[in-house]
Amino acid sequence: MSRSAGEAAFREIMMVKLPESDYIHTPLDEATQDFVYGAVWVRPGLSRRDRRLVTLACVTAAGAPQAINDHVWATLSSGDLTVAELEEFTLHLAVYSGWPKARHVQSVIQEQWARILQECDADIEP
């Protein structure tokens, strides 16, 4: 997949624009953009919503706080899952991954939802 296709997939999935400057800094950055987003996330067989649930479960199990923040933000911003659906996901996650990890995800959901609402208000104000 071309770099521009990987960049486009990243923007669509993560709901953020890449910096105007050259985003690719390392081979890991390039692989993340081109393979993870440009090849794996766009495959047929699972919906983007399904991939979001799998990803959220995996980054939580891995204890990756930045990835949790980024993927909760993208999930809510995209509308792929609602806050209510993510809260139900969190309860189910607690059973299989542990209460402390689920509590962390719950707090991230609340923080990111508040951020989205605040940004929406900022866009509406004159």
pLDDT tens by residue, 46-87: 999 999 999 999 999 999 999 999 999 999 999 999 999 999
Domain co-membership, 1 together with 34? yes
Structural domain boundaries enclosing 26: 1-43
Both 14 and 53 in one domain: the answer is no
Q: Are residues 103 and 120 in the same domain?
A: yes
Alpha carbons within 13 angstroms on the beta-carbon side of residue 34 total 13
**Domain identity same for 51 and 7:** no
Closest-CA residue to 81 (of 53, 107, 57, 103): 53
Domain shared by 62 and 108, yes or no: yes
Residue 5 pLDDT: 85
Residue 21 scores a pLDDT above 80: no
Co-location of 78 and 102 in the same domain: yes
